[in-house]
Chains A and B, each alone.
Chain A
Amino acid sequence: MNEQLFAYRCLQCGELHHPQHFVCRKCGARQFEKVLLEGEGTLVTWTRVYNLPEGYMKPFLCFGIVNFPNGLNVSGQLEVDQPEIGTKLQTTVGVVKEGIGQDYFGFIFKAK
């Protein structure tokens, strides 16, 4: 499972987007190129949630918003024992939800 996740860079003005948009939020152009999102990120904020929705067989899960060096902020799951704002985390991509016949892949940020 070599799943990868991407940002979408506007070919006209260079603005980065994640998730994918149909129209660039900065210049209005409609052509993008994929940019791999990987490496290190900084934790912006986080939470530990105890009332998970249907489909997650766990007592709780941690979530965070992580800032990449390219400026993009994304949401993801955290596998960190004691998260703290400002901590550097390692970006990984893994199964964030098990589905019938199809698993969902997403960001799982881990302690370095």
Chain B
Amino acid sequence: MRREVGIVGVGHPRFGKSSVSFTDMCCYAAVDALDDAGIKTGEGHGVDQLFLASMGAQMLNRQSGIASALVDTLNLRPAMAESVENGPASGASAIKLGYMAIASGMCDVVLVIGGEMMRVVSGWEGTDFVATMLHPIAEYPYGLTLPAFAGMFTRLIMEKYGVLESDLARVAVKNHENAMYNPAAHIQLVPKLEVITEDEDKDIINPYVAEPLRLYDVCPVSDGAAAIVLCAMEVADRFAKKPIRIAGIGQATDTHAVAEREVATDLLAVRLAAQQAYKMANLAPQDMDVAELHDAFQILEIVESEEVGFFPRGEGHLAVRRGETKIGGKIPINTSGGLKAKGHPLGATGVSQVIEIVLQLRGEATGRQVEGARAGLAVNFGGFGNNVVATILTKEVE
């Protein structure tokens, strides 16, 4: 008998450049989440398990066994503790494992922390570190990177569906506008569409990173941590906040080498993960009121919006032009600012996306609130789409 699971606490300090250690950064997020849930630290805290999601702490911060370190420094001993590494989808994977721990009956209360401290290394070291998830023979030694695959993917989508550079810029501007209302967002500025797309100096203001992708078509490099408290619905009345239910989770994988994909313009794992999550939640794409899609590159927001069923294939960019993905539109996407403007500390991202949906469903997304939101979808994308986790949250009927 599977138990229902809800989210009763969230903690999301601002992403950007951390001035504290990796461990402390994670602890700040954790105590915010515990406070939000009304959990008193110290004896009687009731946390049964801690999961720490991070892609690169071992490589970037030369630290391992971090979940064990955190459980001690937060004085949650003797709670169970594990670290989770699933590339940039580590955060949503850790939430999935937290869900499983509670649904199975093994735990009642689970703390999930996602964190990444990427700005301690140089840009080229960081680019190299992220590229280590590519195929170790067929991709990585060539100097291929995630932006390189995103550039090649963008070119194919432009050829096939008529997506323009200005469509990518529209997605970026929308997400930057949303981030202005998110105090946790790394970048708090809004570029002007005509300056980044038409200005005579646009090659300087908005230079190419991986053609045809320009600077404003890719996410920044950020430090950050985010945390949530999960609980069994049957014990939810112990906590200060009303639970937001985890209604569905889906996860799917695809070929490791990107060139081996059967249809080069598809994000198959996104489609399969979303379908699984809808099925488990017994909901459909049109039931979603808000979504956080993994826009590490702006093209991904467009194609993911099609693969999760919001728009027909090849029409995501048309919906962007019509303003349907803005707040107030048909399906607001990345109200948090997305990875583009909120930042993308890899291990924290999946947790951060789920937090935005929780805030929207609670009605606490001040300034960027989607009125009456009852259900939301988060898509956390690992590798270049070779491991994707989709999570659907719903608000309990009063």
Given contacts A47-B151, A77-B143, contact A65 B264 (CB under 8 A): yes
Given contacts A47-B211, A49-B209, contact A96 B137 (CB under 8 A): no
| Residues on A with beta carbons closer than 8 Å to the beta carbon of B138 | 18-19, 74-75
**A-chain residues with CB within 8 Å of residue B151 when the two chains form the complex:** 47-49
* Most central of A56, A74, A75, A104 by chain B CB within 10 Å: A75
The secondary structure that dominates the A interface is: strand
Chain B residues positioned under 8 Å from A47 (CB to CB):
148, 151-152, 155, 210-213
The answer for the CA separation of A47 and B152 in the assembled complex, in Å, is 5
1/0 per residue, CB under 8 A from B, across A63-88: the answer is: 11100000001111100000001000
Shortest CB distance A71–B (Å): 11
Contact B137 A50 (CB under 8 A): no
Say whether B124 contacts A54, CB under 8 Å. Answer: yes
> Please, what's the 1-or-0 string for B135-147, where 1 marks a CB less than 8 Å from any CB in chain A?
1011101111101
Report the minimum CB–CB distance from A5 to chain B (whole Å): 10
The complex places the Cα of A73 from the Cα of B209 at a distance, in Å, of: 24
B128, CB-defined interface residue at 8 Å: yes
With most chain A CB atoms within 10 A of its CB, the pick from B127, B131, B138 is B138
Least CB separation from A107: chain B residue: B142
Q: Is the CB of B260 within 8 A of A73?
A: yes
Is A104 a contact partner of B141 (Cβ separation < 8 A)?
yes
Across the two chains, which residue of chain A brings its CB closest to B264? Answer: A44
B residues 135-184 near A (Cβ < 8 Å) are: 135, 137-139, 141-145, 147-148, 151-153, 155-156, 159
How far is it, in angstroms, between the C-alpha of A80 and the C-alpha of B259 when the chains are bound? Answer: 19
Q: Is the CB of B142 within 8 A of A48?
A: no
Q: B137's closest neighbor in chain A, by CB?
A: A19
| Contact, CB under 8 Å: B141 / A53 | no
Min CB–CB distance B278 → chain A (angstroms)? 27
Residues of B within 8 A of A63 (CB): 142-144, 148, 152
Contact A54 B210 (CB under 8 A): no
Return the CB mask of B208-247 against A: 1 if under 8 Å, else 0.
1111110000000000000000000000000000000000
Closest to A67 in B: B259
User: Within the complex, what minimum Cβ distance (angstroms) separates A32 from chain B?
Assistant: 15
Q: Which residue of B lies closest to A62 (CB)?
A: B211
* B211 to chain A: closest residue by CB: A48
B214 vs chain A, min Cβ distance (A)? 10
Contact with A64, one of B122, B127, B152 (Cβ below 8 angstroms): B152
User: Of A19, A61, A104, which is in contact with the most chain B CB atoms at under 10 Å from its CB?
Assistant: A19
The reply on B283 being an interface residue by CB < 8 A is: no
Is there contact, CB below 8 Å, between A73 and B141?
no
Q: Are A65 and B142 in contact (CB under 8 A)?
A: no
- Complex: how many Å from CA A107 to CA B123? 26
Q: Which residues of A contact B190 (CB under 8 A)?
A: none
Chain A contacts of B155 at CB under 8 A? 45-47, 85
- Shortest B209–chain A CB gap in Å is 6
Sample of 14 A–B contacts (CB below 8 Å): A18-B257, A45-B152, A46-B152, A46-B155, A47-B151, A47-B210, A47-B211, A48-B210, A49-B147, A51-B210, A52-B145, A54-B122, A75-B258, A76-B142
A residues contacting B by CB (< 8 A) are 17-20, 44-56, 61, 63-65, 73-77, 85, 96-97, 104, 106-107
Known A47-B212, A63-B148; further 11 A-B contacts with Cβ < 8 A:
A45-B155, A47-B155, A49-B143, A49-B147, A54-B122, A55-B128, A56-B143, A65-B264, A75-B139, A96-B142, A106-B142
